[in-house]
Structure 1
Amino acid sequence: MLYAVIITSEVLFWVFLLAGLTARYPLRSPRLGAALLVCAPLVDLITLAAAVIDLRGGAEPSFAHVLAAIYIGVSVGFGHSMMRWADVRFAHRFADGPAPERVPERGPAKAAHERVQLVRHVVSWAIGAGLMTLAALLVGTPAAEQTFLGAAGVWSAALVIDAVWSLSYTLVPGRAQS
């Protein structure tokens, strides 16, 4: 059941995003577009509520609950940049906006891009791992601690690997393209 809610929330995020951008640009209705765009991140509340209700109803902590925390964390950390990414492309296609900038391939600009992405990952991790830790404390069973804290530990290791990778561009930026 919780997997269905997570998938539905992800689909709704993109539906509201695309509907909002379609209203904003091709339909030239910025107010409707703004209202629809506001709904996109609000679907995360559905995922959070479903996970809390499931756990409070006595469900055994599972990967679905971990996935809900990860989904919410990633949505908070990367959601705005995903919306901006889509907005730039819609503006370019439908409103004669400037062409989207390419991600730099090397040099100081690439290093700066990687640092921004790392900060987004840290925000995602802080929200997601915080939710997992809170869930482990609130449920209070050894199974919950193992499930949630174990997943938070794996994500922490992934974050460290990402940090080393991302910061390597700062330490050894390579030559900028000419």
Structure 2
Amino acid sequence: MKLTHLFIVAFFTFIYSCENKPQEKQAAPAAGNKEKVYLEKGKKIAQATFAVLGGQLQAALKEGGVSKAVQYCNLAAYPLVDSLSRVHQADIRRTSLKVRNPKNAPTPEEKAILQQYEKTAKEGGPLKPVVKEENDHTIAFYAPIKVNAFCIQCHGVPGQTLKEEDYSVIKKLYPDDKAIGYSDGNLRGMWSIRFKK
């Protein structure tokens, strides 16, 4: 019985892989298809990474408030994103024009996209994900990150939506912090995800 089950699974796996390989090769040359594929891949990775980071951050907030959450970000966020990068075979980053961690400072390409997002946001336009072919080897996916009520606890206005005692903890870990002063709905930054072709 187990042998029959194993044979059926192996057979359908083989058939599935045979049927899908030619389709992937046919889709590759079409630029519109390629953009759509990377747009979907980028969205899925950004959503999955946000879900993992957000879940861990919420758990840290419940356990020890902003102080615990900031320590979590300081120690665990990078290794977590690195491991997700390996799982998804992509370089996953979050960046902003107002960074908390200097390691997240935007590259010149990212800064240009962020400035365009900021301009569009000020004009009241829609902020949409972008796919760009950076060179012969790399395709980049960018998507805006907006502030929600959850984010305000660590990124709000000091003395108002961000408690002074919490901000003093943040400043100890991030002396050059610029990631404050946000309100619900503001553009916080963006996802920057790179794929090797």
TM-score range, shorter chain: 0.3 to 0.5
More helix per residue? 1
**TM-score, normalising length: structure 2:** 0.31
**TM-score, normalising length: structure 1:** 0.34
More strand per residue? 2
